[in-house]
Amino acid sequence: QVQLVESGGGLVQPGGSLRLSCAAAGSIFSITTMGWYRQAPGKQRELVASISSGGRTNYLDSVKGRFTISRDNAKNWVYLHLNSLKPEDTAVYYCKAVAIGVGYWGQGTQVTVSS
């Protein structure tokens, strides 16, 4: 079992920045890929960014160049740096970790981009 706790969401103006954090606990030795997803009202959950245990990253096209995912394997934390935020980035952001083929989710943190 893996437990994930996200933090760092909030209200920000267009063009602003936020940093999301996700702390993993439990069977952390078995975690391989970690990532961030988001779900806006009325829309499906989508992958925003992922990072493998070796550091390989993958991004949603619409966030490339604006968002950066990073990982601290020693602390078992994963971060998402959100820059140049747009209103369309408004969503609940969820952390996900994959361990022995099983996906675990955090509770989500709200990001609202509005003036």
In sequence order, the 6+-apart residues with CB closer than 8 A to the CB of 74 are none
Confidence band of 30 (pLDDT split at 50, 70, 90): confident
Confidence band of 46 (pLDDT split at 50, 70, 90): very high
Q: Are strands 102-105 and 2-7 parallel, antiparallel or unpaired?
A: unpaired
Report pLDDT for 58.
Answer: 97
Q: What angle do CA 36, 41, 47 make, to 5 degrees?
A: 20
- Percent of the chain scored above 90 by pLDDT? 87
DSSP state of 104: E
Mean pLDDT, the chain, integer: 95
Tell me, what amino acid is at 97? A
Instruction: Yes or no: say if 19 and 81 are a contact pair by the CB < 8 Å rule.
Output: yes
Query: What average pLDDT does the segment 67-86 reach?
Result: 94
Report pLDDT for 12.
Answer: 98
Phi, psi angle pair for 33, to nearest 5°: -85, 140
In sequence order, the 6+-apart residues with CB closer than 8 A to the CB of 26 are 1, 2, 3
Out of 23-27, 41-45, 55-59, pick the least confident: 23-27
| Half-sphere exposure at residue 18, Cβ-oriented, CA atoms within 13 angstroms | 21
Q: Is the pLDDT of residue 37 over 90?
A: yes
Instruction: Yes or no: say if 32 and 53 are a contact pair by the CB < 8 Å rule.
Output: yes
